[in-house]
Chains A and B, each alone.
Chain A
Amino acid sequence: MSKVAIHAIYDDEEPLMATAATLKSQGIKVKDVFSPFPIHGIDGVIGVPRTRIAICAFIYGLTGACLATLMMWYMMVHDWPTDIGGKPSMAYYMNVPAFIPITFESTVLCAAHGMVITYYLRCWMLPGVKAKNPDPRTTDDKFLMIVETSEENKSTMEALLKNGGASEISYKLAH
């Protein structure tokens, strides 16, 4: 039995949210929603799990702090200890106040860049990637919802989406 993807276009985010909630209550899963701006509260309705990207940032930040500590210990204490202004670099713990600024900067540097690189790769957004929105109007003022259904349920689904306020309905082959 072949499946079809229904692309329903809405002129406003409120009817789309209401329709998505109706679909959810009937146990129908919304495949995706494309919108010109983040619609707050939609994640729970269409079942988008909470992103774990902040956890990644924390791990990258921790890595940055460790790398900076290791670097400064190696260069200032281990490899070539120097006596600057009567303050010899005998042990890491003795010089640690002077090392705090760079440890902090390195934490931020690694956390920020690591997270942003992860974000672009996870969303697969890179220069030269084809536009991911199925309809170019979704970056302007239209809201698009994709629902998958079987061939025989097509008309019921269409009526449901239309009643919810969809201004346009089109069918695409699901993959």
Chain B
Amino acid sequence: MQHESAIREPLILGNKSYRQITDDIARPIEGKANKYWYILLTVSVICFMWGIGCLAYTIGTGIGVWGSNNGVDWAWDITNFVWWIGIGHAGTLISAVLLLFRQKWRMAINRSAEAMTIFAVMCAAIFVLLHTGRPWLDYWLFPLPNTFGSLWVNFNSPLLWDVFAVSTYFSVSLVFWYTGLVPDFAMIRDRAVKPWAKKLYSGLSFGWGGSARHWSRFEEVSLVLAGLSTPLVFSVHSIVSMDFATSVVPGWHTTIFPPYFVAGAVFSGFAMVLTLLLIVRKIYNLENYITIKHIEYMNIVIIVTGSIVGVAYLTELFISWYSGVEYEQYAFLNRATGPYWWAYAAMMTCNVVSPQLFWSKKLRTNLMFTFVMSLVVNIGMWFERFVIIVPTLCRTFLPSTWNMYHPTFIDIGIYTGTVGMFFTFFLLFTRYFPVIAQAELKSILKSSGQEYKEKAAAHGHGNASHGHH
């Protein structure tokens, strides 16, 4: 058995046994949903339906119904795409990067974070598929023989790299998530009483039995998938940033974009994980598994990534001045003081100033404050993408194309619809899927459970000097 230093706080609170973990994780699936779940689901479904209506109207009429115009030809569509795909990145970071670093606290949150990734990428996909203008021809994005179009697709274009990156990311995240879910589905199957539940979870669990041989393969597969997903997640947002960085538009054509976008993605993703988990732990009484310590760890990631983003903003400003290129200088002056100065101010406040408040331990362990901050960060990150896209495009080289952008009812509707879809899927996931990777959690009960840690400390085994691996 692995001992852990007594300095580390327990990750599972209370006197839990393996059986209690099973019961606690199975309860949301086997029991009745409470009224908060129904209220949230109703609101989400209404937003989702409104979004579907606006989406259908866009497809039926054409993207002229959006606020985008000749000058500002990318607007809310790409803003929302980058925002959603960025949110997805935290899920992979938690499940893959933290697995490689052997961070045990990931085990309580990785399942829901990965679910978030999948739903966020689905929301992102809606915007890119729609902004092509004729979404029924979206299969032309793939390299099909040229009888379908005039030529092959252009492999020199970052937009095509994006097609490959996002589809690889989505499908690999999906199998990573599902492979981890299989043993937990088997747990639900083995205790299901209702015949339909037994049938459903038997199908979903693929006949998993948990033999030593299968566990050994399972762990190897998880490790290799984590090893593959880690560079993948960095590549995806780097490629998204190259959609901008390989252009010749002042303010976009910068080499800082890939790392800056990846840090921003992790920053917003962790904020969304916090929004979701603070709701989940409350609705399903999972306070013993998703502890204040977990929340604090995530808030620390938010300070780190938020500070990276802050440094990136300042570097951009400095370099545009230092470059001596007047177009570059104007682009940044226009962002900060031009017609969209308020978006820039919102971005700076939400992303650079507010995360610094988490240096206070009192604030970063306060649930209400964390919840508000998680929303603030996501609002800030939405404004970041808006600031990069709209103010830049409304003041390009040709002053005759200078014009303002105003979102229409449809723009707002589709965006709200994706938020509704995201929450609808997530709420259904928490109701029918095991929200915590219980098999993994059981494996750390003896090293990180509160009861076991206290016992070890009483016997003098908990000291770092006695710990061995």
Complex interface: chain A residues within 8 A of B221 (CB): 53, 115-116, 119
Contacts of B191 in A (CB 8 A): 136, 139-140
- Once bound together, how far apart are the Cα atoms of A127 and B203, in whole Å? 5
* Nearest-neighbor residue (CB-CB) of B214 within chain A: A123
| Nearest-Cβ distance from residue B242 to partner chain A, whole angstroms | 8
Give the chain B neighbours of A112 by CB distance below 8 A. Answer: 171-172, 175-176, 225, 228-229
For B287, what are the chain A residues with a Cβ–Cβ distance below 8 Å?
none
Closest to B209 in A: A132
Interface of A with B (CB < 8 Å)? Answer: 14, 32-40, 42-43, 46, 48, 50-51, 53-54, 57, 61, 71-72, 75-76, 79-80, 82, 84-85, 87, 89, 95, 98-99, 101-102, 104-106, 108-109, 111-113, 115-116, 119-120, 122-133, 136-141
How many chain-B residues does the 8 Å CB contact rule pick out? Answer: 67
> What's the Cα separation between A33 and B165 when bound, in Å?
40
Query: Which residues of A lie under 8 Å from residue B202 when comparing CB positions?
Result: 128, 131
Taking a contact as CB atoms under 8 Å apart, the answer to whether B155 and A76 are in contact is yes
Q: Which residues of B contact A57 (CB under 8 A)?
A: 224, 228
Q: What 0/1 readout, one digit per residue, does chain B (207-230) give for beta carbons within 8 Å of chain A?
A: 111111111111111011100110
CB-CB < 8 A to A14: which residues of B?
1
**Dominant secondary structure of chain B at its interface with chain A:** helix
Q: Which residue in A37, A79, A98, A101 is a CB contact (below 8 Å) of B442? A: A37
Which residues on B sit within 8 Å (CB–CB) of A33?
211-212
Report yes or no: B156 in contact with A98, Cβ–Cβ below 8 A: yes
Residue of B154, B157, B216, B442 touching A36 (CB-CB under 8 A): B442
The answer to whether the Cβ of B432 comes within 8 Å of any Cβ in the partner chain is no
What chain A residues lie within 8 Å of B11 (beta carbons)? none
A98–B212 CB distance below 8 A: no
Chain A residues with Cβ below 8 Å from B164 are 101-102, 105-106, 109
| Interface contact B224-A131, CB-CB below 8 Å | no
Q: A32-B211, A75-B143 are in contact. Are A104 and B235 (CB under 8 A)?
A: yes
CA distance A134 to B392 in the complex (A): 64
Task: Contact check, A75 vs B155: say whether CB atoms are below 8 A apart.
Answer: yes
Is B182 a contact partner of A125 (Cβ separation < 8 A)? yes
Which residues of B have CB within 8 Å of A42?
Answer: 212
Q: Name the 6 nearest CB pairs between A and B, nearest first.
A: A132-B209, A129-B207, A141-B18, A136-B190, A133-B209, A125-B206
Verify if B41 is at the interface (C-beta below 8 Å from A): no
Complex alpha-carbon distance, A36 and B186, angstroms:
10
- A53 touching B224 by the CB < 8 A rule? yes
Q: Are B154 and A84 closer than 8 Å at their CB atoms? A: yes
Kindly list chain B residues whose C-beta atoms are within 8 Å of the C-beta of A108. 168, 172, 228-229, 231-232
Cross-interface CB contact of A125 among B155, B171, B208, cutoff 8 Å: B208
Q: Does B320 contact A (CB under 8 A)?
A: no
Collect the chain A residues with CB atoms within 8 Å of residue B235's CB. Answer: 101, 104-105
Point out the residue from B187, B220, B440 that lies within 8 Å of A54, measured CB to CB. Answer: B220
- Are A38 and B22 interface neighbours, CB within 8 A? no
Measured between beta carbons, the chain A residues less than 8 angstroms from B17 are 141
Contact between A101 and B161, CB atoms less than 8 A apart: yes
- A87 contact set on B, CB distance < 8 A: 156
B179 interface residue (CB < 8 Å to A): yes
Query: Which residues of B439-469 are within 8 A (CB) of A?
Result: 439-440, 442-443
Contacts of B400 in A (CB 8 A): none
**Pairwise interchain contact A139-B210, C-beta atoms closer than 8 A:** yes
Contacts of A139 in B (CB 8 A): 183, 186-187, 189-191, 208, 210
> A61 — which chain B residues lie within 8 A by C-beta?
228
Assembled-state Cα–Cα distance A101/B164 (Å): 9
Contact of B151 with A by CB under 8 A = yes
Chain A min CB distance to B317 (Å): 29
28 contacts between A and B (CB under 8 A): A14-B1, A32-B211, A33-B211, A35-B215, A37-B442, A38-B439, A50-B216, A51-B217, A57-B224, A57-B228, A71-B143, A79-B152, A82-B154, A85-B156, A101-B164, A104-B235, A108-B232, A112-B229, A113-B175, A119-B221, A125-B207, A131-B208, A132-B208, A133-B211, A138-B209, A139-B187, A139-B189, A140-B190
